[in-house]
Amino acid sequence: PLRSIRHFRVDVATADTVCTAMLERWSAQGRIPGELELAPLAATHLEEAAELYARHFGLSAANAENLLRLSVASGARELSFELRHQKRLLGVIVWKCPPDELPTVDLWIASPEFRLGWPAMVLLQKSVRRCAELGFSDVGFHCNDDARATLHVARLINATLVREEWTYTLDVTRPAAT
């Protein structure tokens, strides 16, 4: 076994309440700067997001950009956002919304210095509020067991573990047993 992929479901209102409380606390502490730019993620401006994606997952920039373009093209554009401060990309959240299924976070990533901080919460809050506006009461997301920040958020927002899948690897560096 290589790792597990955990799939969660969360109530939109609960997620919004928890995000709001955390963001208000961080704002009162002066941790959130002013002049944030929170905008829909546009398929034409993905180079920086692809670089962030590539660094985080150890992908080539070209692979990351192709994967991100596919995700944005097939995803729920009205739910996907980017967050910037002084023109610097701090994070992105990309959703998919398959027919007859819950909207699900496909990619949620913040700059390394903000992995468990306010940029991720700003993106999540904006997205779940948009889900509520569109009439969704629940949403889904997934992460692998190495995503400590996302697993922490899952606990904070009282997400329900729906299922767990395992990925496997085959060691091809050792000779096969005969």
d(CA 150, CA 123): 13
* β-sheet bridge partners, residue 101: none
pLDDT of residue 147: 79
* β-sheet bridge partners, residue 89: 84
pLDDT of residue 154: 87
Return the structure tokens found at 46. Answer: 């993905």
The identity of residue 64, as a single letter, is: A
Return the structure tokens found at 16. Answer: 């919004």
pLDDT band at 75 (very low <50, low <70, confident <90, very high): low
pLDDT of residue 27: 92
Report the percent of the chain where pLDDT is more than 70. Answer: 93
176: pLDDT strictly greater than 70: no
Strand 104-110 and strand 36-40: pairing? unpaired
d(CA 143, CA 48): 22
pLDDT tens for 88-113 read 889 999 888 877 888 988 888 888 87
**118-147 mean pLDDT:** 90
- Report the alpha-carbon angle 62-64-69, nearest 5: 95
Whether this prediction's pTM lies above 0.85 is answered by no
DSSP 8-state secondary structure symbol assigned to residue 86:
T
Segment holding 149, helix H or strand E: helix 148-156
